[in-house]
Amino acid sequence: MIKFYAILFILVLNICCLSLDEKTTIPSQNENIAYRYTDKEIEYFKEIALGTEYGGNTELIRKWDSDIRIKINGAPNDSDLAALNRTISDINDIIGDRISVCIDESNPNINIYFVPIKDFSICNAVPGNYGYFFCKWRNNIIYECDICIATDESLLQEERSHMIREELTQSLGLMKDSLKYPDSIFYERWSYTQKYSAIDVKMIEILYSKDIKAGMRKDEVEYVLRKQAYRNNSK
């Protein structure tokens, strides 16, 4: 009888162990990883955020460390002002907790000029542009910009509205164009884009993240952004 109960106990124990083994799984090392930045985003950021489109400036990060105050000059129409206000609102939605952008006629650090192309010398513009920005920086911290938007009658309003968004956004420090994404505000060819794409939003977020410092080189940017992915992988 004792032998029977002993055998029964061993069988029950084995069944319990088998049941436990069936329910216990070892998660894969790569399961449920949430990367902060994708390879696509990192490569695009390095393309548009280092250096400038004109002037051959060193490929370094340049950004603001203070709030942006915009003065409106020239002869904008109501649609120009609406496009400017939409862009300001969108930027504030993305990075308003770090720096804010507003209209300030009395103490500006960005002047935006709505003028004919013949007056683009105000912005030290390179000929052939219908929208142009020119920024100054000290120790790679941007402290002043001029933006010119052409008011010539040959331009459609949607073209002007696009340029308002593009030039103000590039004045944040994302100073180069790209041929990669036609729906991006940084697209190099002629475009009518009126809003930020998902990758545009990510570019602005990355530039004004606490890990990206003014004066960083490409290799430093790469290291920091890849490290962010590694941190998320390790959690």
SS3 sequence of the chain: CHHHHHHHHHHHHHHHHHHHHHHCCCCCCCCCCCCCCCHHHHHHHHHHCECCCCCCCCCCECEECCCEEEEEEECCCHHHHHHHHHHHHHHHHHHCCCCCEEECCCCCCEEEEEECHHHHHHHCCCCCCCEEEEEEEECCEEEEEEEEEECCCCCCHHHHHHHHHHHHHHCCCCCCCECCCCCCCCECCCCCCCCCCHHHHHHHHHHCCCCCCCCCCHHHHHHHHHHHHHHHHHC
Domains in the chain: ranges and CATH: 39-234 (3.40.390.10)
Report field, pTM of the whole predicted structure over 0.85? no
Per-residue pLDDT tens, the chain, 235 aa: give them.
444 444 444 434 343 433 334 333 333 333 333 457 899 999 999 999 999 988 778 999 999 999 999 999 999 999 999 999 999 999 999 999 999 999 999 999 999 999 999 999 999 999 999 999 999 999 999 999 999 999 998 999 999 999 999 999 999 999 999 999 999 999 999 889 999 999 999 999 999 999 999 999 999 999 999 876 555 444 4
